[in-house]
Amino acid sequence: MTRIAFIGGGNMARSLIGGLIRTGVAASSIAVSDPQAEGRQALAREFGVAAYAENRLAAADAEVVLLAVKPQIMPAIREELREVFQRQRPLLISIAAGVRIDQLERWFGALPIVRCMPNTPALIGAGATGLCANARVSPPQRAQAQHILDAAGLTRWVDDEALMDTVTGIAGSAPAYFFALVEALEDAAVAQGMDRDTARALAAQTCLGAGRMLTESGESPAELRRRVTSPNGTTQAALESFARDNLAGIVAHAVAAATRRGGELAAELDKT
């Protein structure tokens, strides 16, 4: 039974711990640390995991340590954990946006490190995660990391670390894009006189249905789009409006902004 410690017990840690418990990992093999008593105790209550105020205690005998704190918190935790890590040499997994493997090596030592980027649908086992490993990660450790993230949904290894910020741009941050689209659909229907509740239900279910067709049908997005689009019909009218407003360009700009922000987060940490 691999002992796993989560440093930071916020939204993403909750999603990942929930996934592990759901797939049958024993609660007794999981520890979490968070300075916020309320969140920490809620995790202990809900999942039966050991919860600590001090990171050092959670990491004390862990074989895998998963960093689930905000990138900006890294400077605050590196001193206290470095010593524990030097003794134990755990597999270190980071889910922090932007934070590069060479930075983690500099702060925490020459450890086997997997940098990954999950997303919030992990909470319901429908997450999408990109992973990237340094050369110290052994094949069993690679499998271990994948096993932990598989519990949260789909995983894909991305060998070129430079693309990890792209993973953030199209997957880590992207649930919010779909939520924003549903909000916009809802607002558009309300503006045409529909009640918000009905508008939300119809738009959200359409998002779910489209997502399931994309993942379950084996068809390309382009083919699925084509089948909705009757010649000279309503969909064609809407898609032509999207094209006139340069939807593809708008999306490319947004993905570039998220990707760039990942690099900036890392650069800001280089100064600390």
Ligand X SMILES: NC(=O)C1=CN([C@@H]2O[C@H](COP(=O)(O)OP(=O)(O)OC[C@H]3O[C@@H](n4cnc5c(N)ncnc54)[C@H](O)[C@@H]3O)[C@@H](O)[C@H]2O)C=CC1
DSSP state string for 13-44: HHHHHHHHHHTT--GGGEEEE-S-HHHHHHHH
Strands 113-117 and 127-133: antiparallel
172 touches ligand A1CAB (CB under 6 A): yes
Piece of the chain touching ligand A1CAB by CB under 6 A; list 51-59, 157-165, 166-174, 182-190: 166-174
Q: How far is the CB of 157 from ligand A1CAB (least distance, A)?
A: 19
Q: How many residues bind ligand A1CAB (CB under 6 A)?
A: 4
* Residue recorded with tokens 């649908």: 121
94 touches ligand A1CAB (CB under 6 A): no
71 is in an annotated binding site: yes
Interface with ligand X (CB under 6 A): 7-13, 33-36, 39, 55, 68-71, 73, 76-77, 95-97, 117-120, 172
Q: How far is the CB of 73 from ligand X (least distance, A)?
A: 5
Q: How far is the CB of 231 from ligand X (least distance, A)?
A: 40
DSSP at 61: T
Structure tokens at 22: 């759901």
Piece of the chain touching ligand A1CAB by CB under 6 A; list 147-155, 168-176, 192-200, 225-233: 168-176
30-33, strands of its sheet edge to edge: 50-52, 30-33, 4-7, 64-67, 91-94, 113-117, 127-133, 153-157
Site for ligand A1CAB in 1-60 (CB under 6 A): none
Given the complex with ligand X, which of 64 and 95 has the nearer CB atom? 95
166 touches ligand A1CAB (CB under 6 A): no
Taking alpha carbons only, the member of 132, 109, 79, 10 closest to residue 272 is 79
Report the b/e string of 151-172 with b at 16+ CB within 10 A: bbbbbeebeeeeebbbbbbbbb
CA–CA distance, 119 with 117 (Å, rounded to integer): 7
12 is in an annotated binding site: yes
Q: Which does 73 bind (CB under 5 to 8 A by kind): ligand X, ligand A1CAB, none?
A: ligand X
Q: How far is the CB of 170 from ligand X (least distance, A)?
A: 12
8 is in an annotated binding site: yes
Residue 38, phi then psi, degrees to nearest 5: -60, -50
Binding residues for NADPH: 55
